Amino acid sequence: MIRDALLLASAALMGLTLWMVFFWVPTEANLGVSQRIFYFHVPIAILALSSIIVVAIASIIHLITRGQRSDDLAYSAAELGAVLATLAIVTGAIWAKPVWGVWWTWDPKLTLTLLLWFIYAGYLMLRAYGPKGSQGARYGAVIALMGAVNAPIIYYATELWQTAHPALLVGPAAESGSLDSDMALGLLVSTIVFVILAAYMLIERYSLRRSETAIDALYQYVG
Amino acid sequence: MPYINMLVSTPSGRLSMVALAFVALSLLWAGNVLASEGVDQGEAQVVVVAQEQNSDPEANLPFLFAVYIITWGGFFAYSFAMSRRQREIQRELDALKAVIADKESQPGAG
């Protein structure tokens, strides 16, 4: 029921977002239409950062309670986070090309985001091919905590270092009024849509992970 | 060979491999672009070219569409991988149910 509602809401709102992105929001004077990549890139990047926090919190809960559900949630969020981090890097590179003239530069924010991607990849590799059971979950929790430390550094990178990446436009460190009101509304709607879509995908993946865990338990029972 | 089979045997393994290959290729491509443009990779000179080169506001429309297609392609591919895994799980579950039913129907089964 919740899943259907999330899917319907994201589909309906996605139509609205696409209309806003392509027809409604004003075109930025200097960057032209490529600035509209912002409405995809920023929400995806926010969710990629949020996912590692979810992984870390779920991992900590697992370490305290030893509950399987929290570990399954951590794994599911890590897998979704890996997809989101990949998309954030790729969409960022496509945005960088017309603006900076290069696809990639070793800017602190970009490099730290790539590090986050490697953290996700490392977590998934460890869980897939490392020790199984609670030992694997414990090792995974250590990687997740490293990622959680990295996440705020990525967010504040433009404040901490001189970077080519645009200054913060959203979140607690963003200056108020730094974004045109129509652009801010477009970004808000886009962010809500991607959050709903990510929530739907996380619930789906979590449900699948629970089934995988149940199957593993059955295999052990059968022998 | 067994390691490759292990890597492709799980959705997350496949996803990680594809994503790793994609990022590695992107970085190599970016490196080639930097090299061909004579920019030192160590100190990549970031040039804001938009103001000088893009007097036409529609000039970068292909980049916007590329982002749109890649974003939705990515979500679609992930959803497809999940639904495929769901079908595999269902098959495994059916097979396990059959094994358990077989075990329990044997004489002397508790």
Question: How far is it, in rounded angstroms, from Cα A167 to Cα A130?
Answer: 39
Strand partners, A31: none
For residue B34, what pLDDT is reported? 43
Q: How many CB pairs under 8 A join A and B?
A: 162
> Which letter, b or e, does each residue of A147-163 get, where b requires 16 or more Cβ atoms within 10 Å of its Cβ?
bbebbeebbebbeeeeb
State whether residue A38 sits within 8 Å of chain B by CB.
Answer: no
| Alpha-carbon gap: A112 to the closest alpha carbon of chain B (Å) | 14
Residues of B in contact with A114 (CB under 8 A): 23
Residues of B in contact with A93 (CB under 8 A): 26, 30
For residue A19, what pLDDT is reported? 86
For residue B46, what pLDDT is reported? 45
Task: List pLDDT tens digits, range B90-108.
Answer: 899 888 888 888 888 876 6
Residues of B in contact with A97 (CB under 8 A): 63
Look at B21 and A194; give whichever has higher pLDDT.
A194
For residue B45, what pLDDT is reported? 44
Q: Look at residue A27 and tell me if it is in a domain.
A: no
Q: Look at residue A186 and tell me if it is in a domain.
A: yes
Q: What is the ipTM of this complex?
A: 0.85
| Alpha-carbon gap: B89 to the closest alpha carbon of chain A (Å) | 7
State whether residue A213 sits within 8 Å of chain B by CB.
Answer: no
Range name among A9-13, A60-64, B77-81, B83-87 with the lowest pLDDT average: A9-13
Residue bearing tokens 């990629």 = A48
| Alpha-carbon gap: A28 to the closest alpha carbon of chain B (Å) | 9
For residue B9, what pLDDT is reported? 54
Residues of chain A with pLDDT under 50: none
Nearest CA in chain B to A45: B71
For residue A204, what pLDDT is reported? 92
For residue A62, what pLDDT is reported? 94
Average pLDDT, chain B: 66
CB A38 within 8 A of CB A187: yes
B67–A83 C-beta distance less than 8 A: no
Q: Which domain holds residue A57?
A: 2-17+40-163+180-222
For residue A164, what pLDDT is reported? 81
For residue A206, what pLDDT is reported? 95
Q: Of A75, A62, A82, which is closest to residue B14 (Cα–Cα)?
A: A82
Q: Look at residue A81 and tell me if it is in a domain.
A: yes
Q: pTM of whole model > 0.90?
A: no
Look at B49 and A148; give whichever has higher pLDDT.
A148
**Shortest CB distance from A33 goes to which of B16, B64, B82?**
B64
Residues of A in contact with B92 (CB under 8 A): 215
CB B67 within 8 A of CB A91: yes
Residue B31 above 90 pLDDT? Answer: no
For residue B39, what pLDDT is reported? 42
Residue B69 above 80 pLDDT? Answer: yes
Residue B50 above 50 pLDDT? Answer: no
State whether residue A131 sits within 8 Å of chain B by CB.
Answer: no
Nearest CA in chain B to A37: B64
With bands split at pLDDT 50, 70 and 90, how would you rate the model's confidence at B37? very low
**Shortest CB distance from A36 goes to which of B20, B23, B64?**
B64
User: How many structural domains compose chain A?
Assistant: 1
CB A83 within 8 A of CB A48: no
